[in-house]
Structure 1
Amino acid sequence: MDLDLSGKTALVTGSTGGIGYAIARELCDLGAAVGVNGRTAERVEAALETLRGEAKAGRCFAAAGDVATQAGVDGLVAALPAVDILVNNTGIFEPKPFFDIPDGDWQRFFEVNVMSGVRLSRAYAPGMAERGWGRVIFISSESALNVPTEMVHYGMTKTAQLAISRGLAQTVAGSGVTVNSVLPGPTLSEGVATFMKQMAGGGSDLDLDALGRQFVADHRPSSLIRRLAAVDEVASLVAYLCSPAASATTGAALRVDGGVLQGLA
Structure 2
Amino acid sequence: MDLGIAGKRALVTGSSAGLGEAIARLLAAEGGAVVVHGRDAARAEKVATAIGAAGVALGDLSTDAGADAVAEAAGDVDILVNNAGAYDHLGWADSTPKDWTAMYEANVVSAVRMIHRCVPTMRERGWGRVVQIGGGLAIQPLAMQPHYTATLAARHNLAVSLARELAGTGVTSNVVSPGAILVGSVRDLLTEIAPAHGWGTSWEEIERAAARDLVPNDIGRLGRPEEIAAAVGYLVSPAAAYVSGATIRVDGGTIRSVH
Match in the other structure for 2:255: 261
Distance 1:130 1:155, change over 3 A: same
* Equivalent residue pairs, number: 256
Give the 5 Å matches for 1:49-128. 49-52=49-52, 59-128=53-122
Match in the other structure for 2:177: 183
TM-score by length of 2: 0.93
Q: Is the 8 A contact 2:29 2:51 kept in 1?
A: no
Kindly provide the amino acid, as one letter, of the partner of residue 185 in structure 1. Answer: G
Report the secondary structure of 1:98's partner residue: coil
Give the 5 Å matches for 1:157-236. 157-200=151-194, 207-221=202-216, 223-236=217-230
Q: Is 1:153 aligned to residue 123 of structure 2?
A: no
Kindly provide the amino acid, as one letter, of the partner of residue 65 in structure 2. Answer: A
Deviation at 1:76, TM superposition (A): 1.2
Report the secondary structure of 1:63's partner residue: strand
Match in the other structure for 2:233: 239
Q: Is the 8 A contact 1:13 1:20 kept in 2?
A: yes
Match in the other structure for 2:10: 10
Cα distance in 1, alignment partners of residues 51 and 2 from structure 2: 24
State the superposition RMSD in angstroms.
Answer: 1.9
Distance 1:142 1:190, change over 3 A: same
Q: Is the 8 A contact 2:134 2:178 kept in 1?
A: yes
Cα distance in 1, alignment partners of residues 91 and 74 from structure 2: 39
Give the 5 Å matches for 1:126-137. 126-137=120-131
Structure 1 stretches lacking a partner, 5+ long: 53-58
Match in the other structure for 1:55: none
Deviation at 1:245, TM superposition (A): 0.9
Cα distance in 2, alignment partners of residues 209 and 179 from structure 1: 37
Match in the other structure for 1:24: 24
Please give the per-residue CA displacement for 1:158-197, whole angstroms capped at 9, x wherever unaligned. Answer: 0000110000011111000010011100000122123223
Please give the per-residue CA displacement for 1:4-37, whole angstroms capped at 9, x wherever unaligned. Answer: 2112100000111111000001101111000011
Cα distance in 1, alignment partners of residues 258 and 119 from structure 2: 31
State the 4+ residue runs in structure 1 displaced beyond 4 angstroms. Answer: none
Match in the other structure for 2:198: none
Q: Is the 8 A contact 2:56 2:74 kept in 1?
A: no
Cα distance in 1, alignment partners of residues 193 and 101 from structure 2: 26
Q: Is the 8 A contact 1:139 1:181 kept in 2?
A: yes
Match in the other structure for 1:56: none
Cα distance in 1, alignment partners of residues 194 and 247 from structure 2: 33
Deviation at 1:153, TM superposition (A): 1.3
Match in the other structure for 1:40: 40
Q: Is the 8 A contact 1:88 1:117 kept in 2?
A: yes
Cα distance in 2, alignment partners of residues 256 and 183 from structure 1: 6
Q: Is the 8 A contact 1:2 1:244 kept in 2?
A: no
Kindly provide the amino acid, as one letter, of the partner of residue 19 in structure 1. Answer: L
